[in-house]
Amino acid sequence: MNRICQTGIVLLASVVLFFPALSAPQQRKVTKVDPPTKAKSVVEALAVSAGVRYQSQGRRDPFFNPLLKKPGKVVVDEEEPRGLRPPGIGGMSIDQVALLGIASQEEDQVAIFRGSDGRAYFLHQGDRLYDGSVAKIGADTVTLVRETKFRSGKVLRQEATKRLRPL
């Protein structure tokens, strides 16, 4: 029995000496993976960890759940179409006209604009352009109000000032 124990010890010692990797416990590298935050969905976290991004190439995404709302999709309120442009100054936008001069008589003031067609137009306060109207005529400036109507019913008003002489 004593001889059997000695033989076992010799075999164990030789295994330890010649194969140290088998005797010592292996140390594994552990990489820390952050749990998905509220901004990231589980699908995005899996796609990032896998390093593969799905490319639909015009086909339906088989991993998209149509019952869930798409993350990051913002509903945009679109501008309401204005229709066909009428001829003359009524069909020109504020950006297409240039202020040529201002004529004033007592209380009546007239702004002279050159349209995109090269013609001169005489506008009074309240006259309409395609995307706005003349709000105020001053000594050397004309204030125009651009009106943008959205499908939701909201109206956005922006002031644009045209000057005779640049500052």
C-alpha–C-alpha distance, residues 159 and 146, integer Å = 6
Place of tokens 């140290």: 20
Start-to-end Cα distance in the chain: 111
pLDDT category, 79, cuts 50, 70, 90?
confident
More confident residue, 138 or 30: 138
Give the tens place of pLDDT for each residue, 54-77.
677 878 777 777 776 665 565 677
**pTM for the full model?**
0.53
pLDDT category, 100, cuts 50, 70, 90?
very high
C-alpha–C-alpha distance, residues 147 and 74, integer Å = 24
